Structure 1
């Protein structure tokens, strides 16, 4: 299997957090709430290094276009820590982009072309705000799309076609923001209509809707479920998530689970005076799962499942070798 990271393509991810934010240097979140400003490389190195000592090997960095995504900082972090960083292209909820943003005006095939270029050629350091493009050697390894609360949201139906076409052309998976855990089936239906199979979709924030029957029904379709709220107790207890994991495992669906923490605020980082920090998942949450007899499920959700979920796939759904581009790197190594 081959996964695209910001330093090149790798054959194995190791222990992976499937939904994180390491850098947000501008755009909507920082304008609206200073707590979202994540622009310190040193702080990110401190957070990642602490988790690396517990076994963390890879992170899927979910900051999309328009949110101050920084390919150069991601590469520097990967080089300094040995962390595999899978970056995304694509979008958050369409309402976060100004009315004159090209997202609302370009044709679907034009948007597809822009997304494909970020995956095959390299991400734009400016986040495709134009008119100039500064192409980074760091390439995206997934495409993000976001739905609203109980609604797809403005223009998302049109975006689905563009995202699906880019995913099929490049072999990367589609990753999502599912607002409050809603719209899982609707998004899978829309992507399926464009040719994207459910097992090429990662549904983010889906544990914010802690309905076991609903989650089982999504996993039975083949979608990956990213549980990304352990430790953020304001949204619900860890015990609630442990129970959901047990329910899915009981239905033989442990191979559909992924874990992350979605620590997208300064106030979540100990290096910036907050918490719980990236160590929480491995230090506190996984032992809860092990104590509940779910250790094997936890291990799969952190290792084998992410490797399959984020692997590049070629035509017909077959796993493919890395295309020409930046050199392949082995786990634990890096390229400049």
Structure 2
């Protein structure tokens, strides 16, 4: 089944990072934290090219509306490098948007229609801040929805995201603050594919297994960011879930959404870390086939159009 990328639908993604940020050019994130400014095509090309030499083929670019998402730069990066880039429409936490923002006021059908159009007709270069919409030829391939710490987003927004996902056949990708609200999101959305992001920030194997058993994909995007905990925690989680026969529910990414994470901008660990450092640890633990499935087959299944 095909996957929608910014350069068109493709049949095979190959090795895929399921949660990444390549461009955040303004809006809330950059105004409040300059370290979030990712607006250099050349730096992105350098980061991607280094990971491609290790086998990277595709990235799910998780920058939502209101965070300086750039369809133009995503297309330019894909054209320059050959990387498959899956973009998202949708939202981060509602509190990041001003009281005047339309997401607080439009109806379920109106919000769903705007999201569906970004998937079917093309993303707005202005991030749907209006009143003019300038359609990019780049179409989104997933819808983002963010929960707070032990707090669901509003019911109207949940219904709109679910309606748009069902209408277009793309998955819903989520922000699970500190790894919470997994079951609550599954209960509320009631769609066939939900990818739970940041879920490894709650390194409880029993909890994660209960989510995977319901059919959720678990996006582990913490490797390399040791400030949140050692990689050994994630290796142990992968091992525990694989032992329960749930390896087909795993996805990997890095969520390197800061300048200080990019070697090309003077930071680290960089996009190479997952393939160069983390996957070998899984292989050494006898989990090489699980890692391969998470990066290739699982990602293809999770992000294919239905």
TM-score, with length taken from structure 2: 1.00
The answer for the alignment partner of 2:164 in structure 1 is 166
The answer for the alignment partner of 2:233 in structure 1 is 240
Following the alignment from structure 2 to structure 1, what is the Cα–Cα distance between the partners of residues 35 and 301?
A: 33
The answer for the alignment partner of 1:220 in structure 2 is 213
Following the alignment from structure 2 to structure 1, what is the Cα–Cα distance between the partners of residues 81 and 283?
A: 28
Aligned Cα root-mean-square deviation (Å): 0.4
The answer for the alignment partner of 1:333 in structure 2 is none
Q: CA deviation at 1:158?
A: 1.2
The answer for the alignment partner of 2:63 in structure 1 is 63
Q: CA deviation at 1:83?
A: 0.1
Q: CA deviation at 1:185?
A: 0.1
Residue 200 of structure 2 corresponds to residue 207 of structure 1: yes
What pairs with 1:175-186 in structure 2 (closer than 5 Å)?
175-186=173-184
The answer for the alignment partner of 1:105 in structure 2 is 105
Give secondary structure in 2 for the equivalent of 1:89. strand
Following the alignment from structure 1 to structure 2, what is the Cα–Cα distance between the partners of residues 158 and 184?
A: 18
Residue 31 of structure 2 corresponds to residue 38 of structure 1: no
Residue 9 of structure 2 corresponds to residue 9 of structure 1: yes
Give secondary structure in 2 for the equivalent of 1:301. helix
The answer for the alignment partner of 1:136 in structure 2 is 136
Q: Which has the higher contact order (CA 8 A, sep 6+)?
A: 1
Give secondary structure in 1 for the equivalent of 2:256. coil
Following the alignment from structure 2 to structure 1, what is the Cα–Cα distance between the partners of residues 130 and 8?
A: 25
The answer for the alignment partner of 1:157 in structure 2 is 155
CA shift digits 1:176-218 (9 cap, x unpaired): 00000000000000011xxx12xx1100000000011000000
What pairs with 1:46-125 in structure 2 (closer than 5 Å)?
46-125=46-125
Following the alignment from structure 2 to structure 1, what is the Cα–Cα distance between the partners of residues 107 and 214?
A: 30
Following the alignment from structure 1 to structure 2, what is the Cα–Cα distance between the partners of residues 230 and 135?
A: 35
The answer for the alignment partner of 2:222 in structure 1 is 229
Structure 2 stretches lacking a partner, 5+ long: none
The answer for the alignment partner of 1:289 in structure 2 is 282
Structure 1 stretches lacking a partner, 5+ long: 314-336
TM-score, with length taken from structure 1: 0.91
Q: CA deviation at 1:157?
A: 1.6
Q: CA deviation at 1:33?
A: 0.3
